[in-house]
Homo-oligomer: A and B are copies of this chain.
Amino acid sequence: MSDNKNIRIKDIAKMAGVSVGTVDRVIHKRGKVAEDIQKKIEKVLKETGYKPNLLARTLGSNKAVKIAILIPDPDQDEYWALSQAGIDQSLQEWSQYNLELSAHHFDLYDSSSFASIAQSVLDLQPDGVVAAPIFHHESLDFFGQLKKQNIPFVLFNTNLTELNPLSFIGQDLYQSGKVAGELLSYCIEPDDQIAVLHISESIENSVHLKAKESGLRDFVQKDYLVQSHDLNNVDDPNFETEVERILREPELGGVFVSTSKGTHIIASILEQCDLRHIKLVGYDLLAKNLEHLQRGNVNFLINQNPKRMTLVGISHLTNYLLFHKDMPSKELFPLEIITPQNVDSYIQSRIH
């Protein structure tokens, strides 16, 4: 139990025979300090195990921290509405601090919209950025700019490792596919086949969906035949018949849908076609997915937890900016398995 409870800058100053101003300078490496004094202060700092009072620090430097958050339009997809809910909750949680959070929405179906939003964020000159960089190419420019301007950023949902952000928050997609495979193999019959369905609006996303697929394949391929299908155009008039064709395959025993929106789309087709025997594993606690889970059209959901991703992303950046806390450069969330019987316990839970 270190006894640093009451060591203040003032104490350090006294021990080193200097003034608080000088101590402050060495702590924050700002400004000219004679080398010997510098050494001396650093020594005292170390010996006493000085820990700054973060409350006083933030109170003293009386400036508001501006954080900009970039996500797709929450009205276009419930997944992103959950993310927005995370922003809203953060707003509440940090309301007492001198913190300005602003949310910026871009068009999920129009990658060019990202650029214009990005520009307005740059104009804002925020102290930090939290973003879901779902448009790979368009993102590079923006985050390059941030780097140049020394504005720290945290990424979530989609990782762009080459940008090495302050922190990334997300899940291990490959392992997520393995979990899906594990769950399916619990509920289908030995000779069944498995279909993997990717239903996504953007091609950019497909690389991530493929990661899930290969996880699933690696887990089940010794026991089951797996076929995968890309169905990116939900609005295509042939979409439903195409899906039906796939689902009516007599050998088919299980379906893995790699996106949250795809999950309820496929579930309703299964229901319509009365294909109750086919087991379905999908993603996320969207309202429609929950209904299908209750009705038995979906057997398992894997929770990506967009709300908590957002919450944690903001929280990390805030702690960094406000309290100079450091954070893990990568935080992978647990792969939560949702069933009809445990779903309520997740919904009730404050951070589901």
- Residues of A at the B interface (CB closer than 8 Å) are 5, 51-56, 58-59, 64, 95-98, 171-172, 175, 178-179, 181-183, 186-187, 219, 323, 328, 331-337, 339-342, 344-346, 348-350, 352
Which residues of B are found within 8 Å of A337, using beta-carbon distances? 336-337, 339, 342
Q: Which residue of chain B has its CB nearest to the CB of A303?
A: B334
Q: Are B341 and A219 in contact (CB under 8 A)?
A: yes
Docked complex Cα distance between A336 and B205 (Å): 28
Interface centre among A97, A219, A333, A337 (most CB of B within 10 A): A337
A342 contacts B179, C-beta separation under 8 Å:
yes
Residues of the B chain whose Cβ atoms lie less than 8 Å from the Cβ of A95: 51
Contact A96 B179 (CB under 8 A): no
On whether the beta carbons of A171 and B96 are closer than 8 Å, the reply is: no
Chain B positions within 8 Å of A328 at CB level: 350
A182 and B340 in contact (CB under 8 A), knowing A52-B96, A95-B51, A323-B96? yes
Contact of A334 with B349 at beta-carbon distance under 8 Å, contacts A341-B182, A342-B179 already known: yes
For residue A125, give the distance in angstroms from its CB to the closest CB of chain B.
18
Centre residue among A54, A96, A342, A348 by max chain B CB count within 10 A: A342
A175 engages B97 (CB within 8 Å): no
| Nearest CB on B from A326, distance (A) | 12
A332 partner, pick from B323, B335, B348, beta carbons under 8 A: B348
A-B contact list, 19 entries, CB within 8 Å: A5-B64, A51-B95, A51-B96, A53-B59, A54-B96, A55-B58, A55-B59, A55-B96, A175-B342, A179-B341, A186-B186, A331-B349, A333-B349, A334-B336, A334-B352, A335-B345, A336-B336, A337-B337, A337-B342
